[in-house]
Structure 1
Amino acid sequence: MESYKQLFNEYIAMYRPYINKLNALLASYNLTTAQWSIMLLIFREGAKTIGDISLYQNVEKPTTTKLVQKLIDLGYVEIHAGNDKRVKIVQLSEEGTKVYGQMREKIDHFQKDLSEGISEEERLVVAKVLKKISSKL
């Protein structure tokens, strides 16, 4: 089998089981990976608009709005009006920041366990390859 096929076959074979296990971890806080991704983005980069989040997740604004609304309902994010009243700014709430820290610890442990036995060099090569592929999509 050609190496490019093997690369994508292995990625596909790993993706669903990884997401399923990640969702199981996140379920203790009533979160999904899509919602976690929003919290991760806001934690790393600060408050974002719905449009910014949609671009980051590569989904339509109505989908992002539903995900953000669930995070609001959970008390994990807050919405503030921007300079233009039509623009909504999303930021982590105090509770969201606390939950982020607790989940980050669990996810770090999970990911470290999965990558045990894989050298730092190998991890960096895989990360670089995936980033290159992602930039072409």
Structure 2
Amino acid sequence: MKTYREFFHQFLLLYRPFEHHLNLELAKHGLYRSQWTILYYLSHLGTATLVELSTYQSVEKPTVTRTINRLEELGYVEHVPTKDKREKRMQLTELGNRISTEVRETVDQFEQNILAGISEQEQLEAIRVMETIRKNLIE
């Protein structure tokens, strides 16, 4: 088998089980991966528009809107007033910051467990490879 074929075959075999197990960990906090991704993004960047969030997740804006609506219902995110009334900018609430920190601890443990036996250097190389592939896909 050609190396690139095996690479993507292994990637596909990894993706679904990773997502499934991550969702099991997130369920302990009543969240799904799509919701966690938004909390993670906002915890690092402070605020974001729905367009920025949809671009980050590579999904359509209506998908992000539904997820944001649910996070608002939970009290984790709120609107940030802006000059442009058409722009919907969001940020974490105080509760959202607390939940994000709690979930981060759960996800950190999960990620460390599944990276057992993989050196930091190997992780850095894998990150570089994934960044290059993503760049090639979106350009």
Question: What TM-score does the superposition give when structure 2 sets the normalisation length?
Answer: 0.95
Q: Distance in 2 between matches of 1:29 and 1:82?
A: 31
Q: Distance in 2 between matches of 1:40 and 1:24?
A: 17
Q: Distance in 2 between matches of 1:44 and 1:101?
A: 11
Q: Distance in 2 between matches of 1:63 and 1:69?
A: 10
Q: Deviations over 1:45-86 (max 9, x none)?
A: 110011111111111111110010010011111113311112
Quote the residue 1:91 is aligned against. Answer: 91
1:1-137 correspondence to structure 2 within 5 Å: 1-137=1-137
How far 1:90 moved relative to its partner?
0.5
Q: Is the contact made by 1:49 and 1:87 (CA closer than 8 Å) also made in structure 2? A: yes
How far 1:3 moved relative to its partner?
1.0
What letter matches 1:128 in structure 2? Answer: R
How far 1:92 moved relative to its partner?
0.4
What letter matches 2:133 in structure 1? Answer: I
Number of equivalenced pairs: 137
Q: Secondary structure at the match of 2:59?
A: coil
Flag as ranges the 4+ runs of structure 1 deviating above 2 A.
none
Q: Distance in 2 between matches of 1:5 and 1:121?
A: 24
Q: Secondary structure at the match of 2:28?
A: helix
Q: Distance in 2 between matches of 1:5 and 1:125?
A: 19
How far 1:28 moved relative to its partner?
2.0
Q: Distance in 1 between matches of 2:30 and 2:120?
A: 33
Where does the alignment leave 5 or more consecutive residues of structure 1 unmatched? none
Where does the alignment leave 5 or more consecutive residues of structure 2 unmatched? none
Q: Secondary structure at the match of 1:23?
A: helix
Q: Distance in 1 between matches of 2:120 and 2:29?
A: 31
